[in-house]
Homo-oligomer: A and B are copies of this chain.
Amino acid sequence: MSQIRVVLFEDNKHLRESLYYLINGTEGCMCAGAFPDCNNLVVQIKKTQPDVVLMDIEMPGMKGTEAVKIINKEFPGVQVLMQTIFQDDDNIFSAICAGASGYILKTTSPAGYIEAIKDVHNGGSPMTGSVARKILQLFQEKIPAISSSTDYHLTPKEKEILQHLVKGKSFKMIADATGTTYETVRTHMKNIYAKLHVNSNTEAVSKALNERIV
């Protein structure tokens, strides 16, 4: 079986070299490159052809999260494993949004590093327990009530019409799209308004989107 090609970006010289030797000293892994910054990022990745990139989040010059974005765009198959000393929400959040595949702390043991590299290469997303907790918390904050949305007892037809309304269509266009008449759509809309306790189309759209009724 072929080796996992790892490339690392890490500004701390000592850590960079330690990781370099650690990876090369591990069976099934090889370090195809080790760089102190993200200058010439694209060129270096093209040259070194990594399977996994180990990326420090705080570095001089281009930020780690920026680098992740570029890697994901230019080299979609490459897995990026973030490593950091910080575990603040903002950093984690932007790394996730940028498309990182794993997120470990620098306090991780050498064996943990190797395990994480292998895990990420196998399609997993290793992350330190405390980081995972933060991600779950972020998730719960940002997606407040996907399932706890109150049921307004909309009929299938009413939901269908509401969906069209949310797309910005007029009653006429909805009538067209649903194969009914303008007046029928209006009747349904009146019922929708009554059920949602609103009295304008904008209010209905707002409520539909915010409470994910659509």
Contact = CB atoms under 8 A, between A and B. Distances in A.
Interface of A: 93-94, 96-102, 119-120, 122-130, 132-133, 135-136, 138-140, 142-143, 146-148, 165-170, 198, 200-207, 209-210
Contact of A125 (B133, B200, B205): B133
A97 B143 contact: yes
A93 B132 CA distance: 14
A200 B168 contact: yes
B129 A119 contact: yes
A161 to B, nearest CB: 12
B168 A202 contact: yes
A81 to B, nearest CB: 11
A191 to B, nearest CB: 17
Given A124-B133, A133-B123, A205-B202, A139 B96 contact: yes
